[in-house]
Copies of this chain bind each other. A is one copy, B any other.
């Protein structure tokens, strides 16, 4: 396995981590993700780690790095699907993942991104709002 695929799902990017991350794979993922965010203009990235049974401080740092990179590109990272044992290990390692949002599964993560992006986006000028006021035509 040379690289972890990054899937574009509508306005978001989805990364599923299924294998043990080693240095080179993590660096490649970081590079790929940076490039994809800038190329697609995605503002939300979901990282699914439901297949990870254990983590170490290396993974913790990787998430922190990716979140920092995403932030300067005006994107947001949500880590989803964390196993209970992984959460316990992270806390025991003293890694509280500052600045990284988490959600129980992909659907909740998407909903979270949708809400936070909607809140940060200005309303579009050409809003197709209800123009009932125009019922009387200007003749």
Contacts and interface: CB of A to CB of B under 8 A. Distances in A.
Contact of A106 (B8, B19, B48): B8
A1 B81 CA distance: 16
A35 interface: no
Given A1-B18, A18-B1, A9 B51 contact: no
Stoichiometry, copies per complex: 2
Interface in A102-124: 105-107, 110
A103 to B, nearest CB: 12
Nearest to A51: B5
Interface of A: 1-5, 7-10, 14, 16, 18-19, 48, 50-51, 53, 81, 105-107, 110
